[in-house]
Amino acid sequence: MRKLYIANKNYSSWSMRPWVLMKQAGIAFEEVMVRFGEDFGESSAFKKAMAVSPTGLVPLLVDGDIKVWDTLSIVEYVAETFPDKKLWPENPAQRAHARSICAEMHGGFRSLRSACTMNIEADQSVQGAIIWRDNAGVRAEVQRIVEMWTELLAANAGSHPDGMLFGRFSAADAYYAPVVMRFVGYALPVPEAVHAYMRRVQALPGVKAWVDAALLEKQFVVMDEPYRISRD
């Protein structure tokens, strides 16, 4: 059984991407949780698990003797291993487009990722209003994402009942699922068409399973809570 090493579902946006992709696609895997903020001693679960990872980071996919680290590499490996799941669009132009926007997320949107860290259980709408008012970088990056999603949703409207970015669910939707959670948690202003897409993403069984598990986590990790000193 392949193993996917992840961190806290409440906080770890990078872990969310391959987990949601595989869960939504019905690809079996064993989850290995490596929690943020655990005891980092040599005998700790964190140290033992991270001894497996070449980088000491998660997510990490272990499939037999194969280790795949870096979220985008995991997505590509899974797509190649399970071609029948059609995790990238079948059309070559759409496939190139989907890979490009995933790479853009992977290496960009630093203002949004820094100012609006993922925190699924918290209502950060007050902080979101302040960030929106004061952070021009966040406003610019949200505008870019809104334009990206709006263009894709309009171009692919009606092509598949999933109503995802490229019609049917793909790696692109899994890759932007943590952005949906940021937009929701910080109540960032977006048009209704984008809100509708966000609701469809939240309703996906794979996303819902991740969110439900995140809400059950009781761990409060100070380094991942820039706006709170305790969990209410």
Note whether 29 and 10 are same-domain residues.
Answer: yes
Does 104 lie in the same domain as 178?
A: yes
203 shares a domain with 105: yes
Strands 30-33, 3-6: parallel, antiparallel or unpaired by DSSP? parallel
Query: Which pairing describes strands 30-33 and 66-69: parallel, antiparallel, or unpaired?
Result: unpaired
Contact call for residues 17 and 75 (beta carbons, < 8 A): yes
CATH number, domain with residue 127: 1.20.1050.10
User: How buried is residue 92: exposed, middle or buried, by Cβ count under 10 Å (0-12/13-18/19+)?
Assistant: exposed
16 with 112, same domain? no
Residue 184 CA to residue 122 CA, distance in Å, equals 10
* Whole-angstrom distance, CA of residue 21 vs CA of residue 171: 6
Q: Which amino acid is at 229?
A: I
pLDDT tops 80 at residue 133: yes
Residue 223 included in any domain: no
Range of the domain at 67: 3-85
Share above pLDDT 90 across residues of the chain, in percent, rounded to a whole number: 83
- Digit-coded pLDDT (tens) for 202-217: 999 999 999 999 999 9
The answer to the question of residue 167 being in a domain is yes
Instruction: Output the pLDDT for position 43.
Output: 46
For residue 28 the two structure tokens come to 């079996």
Q: Are residues 97 and 145 in the same domain?
A: yes
Which DSSP letter does residue 10 get?
T
Question: Is the same domain home to 138 and 55?
Answer: no
Task: Give per-residue pLDDT as tens, 26-79.
Answer: 999 999 998 876 554 454 555 666 678 888 789 999 999 999 999 999 999 999
